[in-house]
Amino acid sequence: MVISISKITSKRQITLPVKVMSRLKLHPGGRLVFEETDGRVEIKSVAATFTIADFVKKYRGMVSKKLSDQQIRDAREEAWVARAGR
């Protein structure tokens, strides 16, 4: 089934149609994988990765209280125990 057709530019770029972006749940800056199988190329979305740098950038300045490593470990352990008890 043909969803849409795109043209390849002189710089070997294509514009993904809105229908394709929606079906693959893609957003600008998203990543794609091109897989070749039996002479066909399949385009698949790649799950976003969330790095430590992304985490720090997102949450920097949100906590005003400084915690020791032990306090962080204890809080993490409590959260895991509470989560497992559900």
Give the 3-state secondary structure percentages of the chain, helix then strand then coil, rounded to 5. Answer: 35, 15, 50
Question: What is the share, in percent, of the chain residues with pLDDT greater than 90?
Answer: 16
Range 13-25 average pLDDT: 87
**pLDDT, tens digit, for every residue of 39-60?**
998 888 877 666 777 777 777 7
**Could you tell me the domains of the chain?**
1-60 (2.10.260.10)
Angle at 81 between CA 58 and CA 67, to 5 degrees: 45
Residue 50: what pLDDT? 67
Residue 13: what pLDDT? 93
**Global pTM exceeds 0.85:** no
